[in-house]
Amino acid sequence: MAKKKAVRQKKLRLVDNSPVGLTESQCQAFRVLYRVCAQQKSPPLDSQDIKRMIRVHLGRFLYIYVEALCHDAGLEIAKSPARRTVRLRRDAVDAMSKLCGHALSVNDIIRALSRYAPVPEFAASAIRRDFLRIFV
């Protein structure tokens, strides 16, 4: 008797090609402002300071998110046909959610970024638009 293959339903996502809405100078300022997130020193591997390790990893994922958002904005400015980094941003937010132990909201991301530097209004609105694009 032949075995039946399990049918896996595909998860459909809304494809949103709306612009990120950042200018080149805003992208540059946004990157410079949060570069410190990725430059934190992590504790030694044998360290028992789990909270510090989580904080360092959250900072690095935040910076990956910021870089990917600015990368897409740069592609929009240049009208480049290159692939967008929506999947990378979604994965970064998912990884941060796992580290925090709960699903992150837009305000959680903005609050986490504000620990490093004040979040400009243009950045906060771009993050809000991006969350609608990624998770809706």
Provide the pLDDT for residue 67: 94
CA quadruple 96, 34, 87, 16: dihedral, nearest 10: 120
Backbone angles phi, psi at 66, to 5 degrees: -65, -45
> Which residue would you say has higher pLDDT here, 43 or 51?
51
- Sign of the C-alpha dihedral computed for residues 125, 33, 27 and 103 taken in this order: negative
The domain spans of the chain are 24-41+48-135
pLDDT (tens digit per residue) in 49-104 = 788 888 888 999 999 999 999 999 999 888 888 888 889 999 999 999 999 999 99
Provide the pLDDT for residue 111: 94
Provide the pLDDT for residue 7: 74
Sequence-separated (6 or more) residues with CB below 8 Å from residue 1: none
What is the pTM assigned to this prediction? 0.82
Provide the pLDDT for residue 36: 86
At 65, list the tokens: 């998110």
